[in-house]
């Protein structure tokens, strides 16, 4: 990239703040765009400049257009599958219209930046295929959240094909780590850490046999840095510039509960509750394409990452 100037939308949030940290460590000058509805001001790196804006606003469009960025890492989003099921219109407003506002701002820039979009590998592929999911696999999302993310990926391909823009989609599996908000499906790690700290029962929805691919947030941040810098083929169709970001290892919710107790050195009850609508049964992703084209591989094992996360939550309580 010819410039080291980057914008991270959602950069006061859980994943976004780690992405901002990683970009700064890699030599980028970083701005953060966040409305602080979910993000926290104290998560924004001290070296970054915060713009407190709604991603859908004209001011956000102008910032992307006029900021002189070489890359925009777009993470600002409505992140909860359950919220999307309850209110798909609100989900689409943030996740589709907000993303279009960013893309239109980038298209209007004197030198359009590369846009690295945070998509989803867990919710995009649906339950009809056999995991691990590869990027070209059929996609049939189970929730409005997954539908919105996939819709934006179609827009990315359109902007690449029609407007010649430089776009990348990173399809995250279930991200966990320090600063995680205990909301949304992936927030189960934060919730389980809280249960371990309090000695409370861990609630598992459904049978607990549903599998997920839990990837540490530091590895996800590293994938964003690689996506910001890598020389890549033309972004002219869906899937070509999409990369799964996970571990390729399925872990059931019951296994996750046991692993959290193991790293915390505690034993608490596990209680089953009714399954939630829109929830997939099986999800994990193949990551060989990211390894090959981004030179990215996950570095942190589940037990290591859970240990780091648990110790962070324990320290945060003082």
pLDDT at 318: 76
Q: Which fold has domain 176-213+248-285+300-316?
A: UDP-galactose 4-epimerase; domain 1 (3.90.25)
Per-residue model confidence (pLDDT) at position 2: 45
Angle formed by the axes of helices 253-264 and 302-316, to 10°?
A: 60
Residue 226 is predicted with a pLDDT of 98
The model's pTM: 0.94
| Contact of 253 with 302, CB cutoff 8 Å | no
**Topology agreement, domain 5-175+215-245 and domain 176-213+248-285+300-316:** no
Largest CA distance in the chain: 58
> Which stretches within 185-301 are classed as H helix?
188-198, 217-229, 253-264, 288-293
- Residue 104 DSSP SS3: helix
296 within 8 A of 222, measured Cβ to Cβ: yes
Domain coordinates of the chain in residue numbers? 5-175+215-245, 176-213+248-285+300-316
Is CATH 1.10.1270.20 the right assignment for the domain spanning 5-175+215-245? no
pLDDT means per 10 residues, the chain with 318 residues, are: 81 97 98 96 97 98 98 94 91 97 98 97 82 92 92 96 95 95 74 95 93 96 97 82 96 97 97 81 92 97 97 91
Per-residue model confidence (pLDDT) at position 126: 78
Predicted pLDDT of residue 260: 98
Res 1: pLDDT: 41
Query: What pLDDT score does 194 carry?
Result: 94
**What local confidence, expressed as pLDDT, does residue 278 receive?**
61
- From the list 69, 145, 176, 214, the catalytic residue is 145
For residue 285, the surrounding DSSP H or E stretch is none
| Active-site annotation holds for 158 | no
């Amino acid at each position: 990239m010819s410039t080291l100037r980057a914008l991270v939308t959602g950069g006061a949030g859980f994943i976004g703040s780690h992405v901002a940290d990683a970009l700064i460590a890699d030599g980028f000058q970083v701005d953060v765009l966040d409305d602080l509805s979910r993000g926290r001001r104290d998560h924004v790196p001290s070296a970054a400049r915060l713009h407190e804006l709604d991603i859908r606003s004209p001011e956000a469009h102008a910032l992307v257009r006029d900021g002189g960025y070489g890359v925009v890492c777009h993470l600002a989003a409505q992140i909860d599958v359950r919220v999307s099921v309850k209110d798909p219109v609100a989900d689409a407003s943030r996740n589709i219209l907000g993303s279009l506002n960013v893309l239109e701002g980038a298209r209007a820039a004197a030198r359009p930046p590369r846009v690295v979009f945070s998509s989803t590998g867990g919710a995009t592929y649906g339950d009809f295929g056999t995991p691990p999911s590869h990027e070209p696999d059929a996609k049939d999302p189970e929730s409005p959240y997954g539908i919105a993310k996939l819709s934006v990926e179609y827009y990315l391909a359109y902007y690449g094909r029609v407007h010649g823009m430089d776009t990348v989609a990173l399809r995250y599996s279930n991200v966990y780590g320090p600063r995680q908000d205990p909301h949304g499906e992936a927030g189960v790690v934060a919730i389980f850490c809280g249960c371990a700290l309090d000695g409370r029962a861990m609630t598992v929805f459904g049978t607990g046999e549903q599998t997920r691919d839990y990837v540490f947030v530091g590895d996800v941040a590293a994938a964003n840095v690689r996506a910001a810098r890598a020389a890549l083929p033309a972004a002219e169709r869906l899937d070509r510039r999409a990369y799964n970001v996970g571990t390729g290892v399925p872990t059931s919710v019951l296994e996750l509960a046991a692993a959290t107790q193991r790293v915390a050195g505690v034993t608490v009850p596990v209680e089953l509750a009714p399954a939630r609508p829109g929830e997939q049964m099986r999800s994990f992703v193949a990551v060989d394409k990211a390894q090959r084209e981004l030179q990215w591989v996950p570095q942190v094992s589940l037990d290591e990452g859970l240990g780091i996360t648990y110790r962070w939550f324990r320290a945060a309580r003082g």
